[in-house]
Structure 1
Amino acid sequence: MFPTVARLELDDLLSQLVDRAQDVLATQGRLRGLLQANRAIATDLRLPVLLRHIVEAATDLLGARYGALGVVAPDRTLEEFVHVGMTDADVERIGQLPTGHGLLGILIDDPRPRRADDIAHDPASQGFPAGHPPMRTFLGVPITVRGEVFGNLYLTDKRDGVPFTAEDEELALALAANAGVAIENARLYHESQQRHLWMTASAEISRQVMVGADNALATLVHRVQEVADAPFVALALHTTNQGTADGGDPSKGAGNAERGGRGNGGEYARVAVAVTERDGTGSAHAGLGTDASRAGRLIPLAHTLTGRVIAEQQGLRVDDAELDALPDERAARTGPLMVVPLVAGGDQCGGALLIGRDRGARAFTDGDLDMATSFAGHIAVALELARARADQEHLRVLADRGRIARDLHDHVIQRMFAVALGMQDLAQYEDPSNADRLNGYVEDIDATIKDIRRSIFELRGQGPTKRGRLRTALDKIAEDVRPALGFAPAISLTGPLDTVADDQLTDHLLAVTREALTNTARHAHATSVEVRLAVDGDMVTLDAVDNGVGIGDTTRRSGLDNLRARAESLGGTFTATVPPAGGTHLRWTVPL
């Protein structure tokens, strides 16, 4: 038998052995739990899902009743707060979720682990809002990604009621380290997916632009809307506009003159196409409706985001577009905004692409800006190649028409002329009845020769509906209104109007000219009026200037309203101003 003292020592040793075995089992259980938690957070690479998995794994591992992960914003507040443990009723009672003050803010300013046995008595605590469930114990650890703090992991109310221990802190730190790796992988995965979407969209839109698809630009803004998850997208093309002469506003809503207008000869970007609403189907191809009210609006390049991007040929992003952008550079609800340049190479920038998300949505990152800029560069190259291809095709058509005109002039007309001369010579030897018939044939040949010459003239212009029709019709309008005016109006054409004006634009130009001259005859009491039609870059401008009594105060301006409606229907602008010397200056400008 063992002595009593020896037996007591043996019992003590056995008790210590059992305690240590239990500690080993507990440690093994914690390590097993950590491994399970690590597996749980690595099951999904979607960042929103991953963040929730991290919080759920941490609460299970450390036995906490509540858990949260706060994502730190650049301004050192919490831009996102993912939480578990609270019911929907609790969240509704609390209202606004934490933004990073009090005890939560300590970890943002000093990203080191922090424990508290009683939150209410911690010096940094600012208390709980009304309706917040009671919480006592607290553990917070930072989550770092590539050496930078991504966010903080918060755990409260350990289920056994005891404070969090140093071992709990070590486990939380280990889990946070693995979470940082998982978050970085999720970011890389998301970036690769986004880059793939941008590249696919670039290939699709470039192909449509190159083949000259009618809805290529509408497809462009819808695809960008889908890929960037941005309700507002606009394509603005660089142009030189004369729309502010004599103080006229270049377009309704284009911004105040002091914020960008340069007066006569100012530079602008014209909105070619824009979209501000989703099509409701989740696909950019399901519906290609665009915001027609924005098309044709002019964005001044002076002191604007668009102008800065075009001048510097570098994309930029802002978090609050309402503070930094003109109304035409954003939608009413736009918060985060990216503006990227359309640079096809060299020193010329063809315009800018504006991409905006609603206020409260996720801000754009540098990665988003880089991908959007690359996309815009590809589209700019496609637009430039399509333009060059169209120019080559146009030159080829003109060359063919020139060749046909030369052949008609040098061969067909000469042969017909020789036949007519021969018939005239033959007629003098025939009896009168045959001579009259031969002379009639000669007259028919002369008429045919005139028709061929007219066709040659039109071929050397733009076709049977262009140059001859526009110039002749303008002269006819001038002759028609001459009696009412009491003098002949002056009409001048500058630039290749006969080449660039299609039938629809020609009809509008004739109608606007007639309306302007008729208004002058009825109301101006002028002694001179000049109508100038000109092509300036990608714009066609019609100016009607008289030396009459001016616009006057009458509110009945149906004629001017018609001119404005015609311009806006083509995406253009209309202004009616009084020059310094008096009279009236009507300016009607539309894009080609």
Structure 2
Amino acid sequence: MLGVVLEQAHPLRLREISEHPRSSGFPPHHPVMHSFLGAPIVVRGRVFGRLYLSEKEGGAEFSEGDERIAMMLAAQAGVAIESVFLYDEVQARGVELGRRLAQLGSLELVARMLLTEDSSIGDVLEYAVEQARFLTGGTMATLMVLDEATGELVIRHAVGGEGAASLVGVRLEPRTSKSHFVMLRRDAELVPDLASDREINEGVRHLLGNPADGAFAPLLVRHRPIGALAVYGSSEGRPFTDDDLSVLQILANQAAIALENDRLTFLLRNLAVLEERERISKELHDGVIQSIYSVGLNLQGALSLMGTQPDRGARRIEEAIAELDNVVRDVRNYIFELRPRLVEERGLEAAIVELVRELEVNTTAHATVELAPRAGQVLPRQQEAHVIQIVREVLSNIARHAQPSVVSVKVEQRGGFFSLVIEDDGLGFDPSKVSRGHGLSNVEARVEALGGVLEILPRAGGGTRHSVRVPLPAEETF
């Protein structure tokens, strides 16, 4: 009889229970009942239970009024039940929303770390691994990088668990771990039971404390696998989910970008070194070596003249000495040009002072520097590097070609612009007619990168005036 109320979801009122077709008697020791009133407890079309009464006082049958009261009480019970379910759902959604916000915040922070110069590759990867563990609810996490020479995976970072630290540096031979196969298949994977998966490396699992389950995501660069990110041992009483796998893959993608950026930066630095070596080699060959060869010829000629024409031989020797002085000056200039990275590390003000000091050491010119207060604080670090290189190029050109006796460098702010002015009283030149080597072209390119304006004009009284103006943010004045 009770099942009829649940199945039909309608009230049931009987004068005598035993007369209903579905009546099957009573369990042993259950008191006999005659009259019956049952009302379903319904919430949004779903039956959650029933409210029933029997044996109305006085042996009378339950009335329609009794039925309405029972239905009202059942409806109130339904409201209470629905409130409990809604409260639990709101609580669960609040927890899930908190998880999602934490995931978004962590992913955004990893992305920002990729874009800032202050974060090293180690910092980015370490943070990505820790966030992979935290956001997926895992107890441990590892990041492995492919050694392309051997095909081995090298565990570069490991967090969580007592054995995590001992895993760093461990090398896994090709096709000996789950991470290898996930990487080769280029597809993330959930593993509910690590112990039963044949691709799992048991040695690693043992060092991690024999976790029960795991999730693995490949590190891909333009579909080329370079490593894998893995989490182990789900916590919080729930297994890893597809959502966890999606978060893990996003973090793996960010780690892959960080590794690829680091690789490309390394290659660019090597390329810059090679280009610099090629330039110096060419200039040494075309300049210093040719000059030394010419000195050698002069000295040979002088030697042959010393017996018959000593005066001419002496003049040849004097010419050779003068040429050697030029060679020494050129070599000093090359050394001067090799200093940019050293001075850049000291900041803008110290770098300019150092470059001017080098100019004085390597030439006979008297040089002065005038720096406005906070001159080294108004430009971003990258723009400072451009300014330092501009100063280096201009002073290098002055030392090599201008033959100045006085050089001045002035840095100030005028009308919202950073201003750099370098003047010399040397030979001067017409920038529209002079042959453009790498130096002047580099200066123009750097000024353009700064969004500034370069002017090269004759200086009153002789020489050249180099002027660079770079726009500053409105609040940057000094």
Greater relative contact order, per chain length (Cα 8 Å cut-off, separation 6+): 1
TM-score, normalization by structure 2: 0.46
Computing the radius of gyration from Cα coordinates, the structure with the larger value is 2
TM-score, normalization by structure 1: 0.38
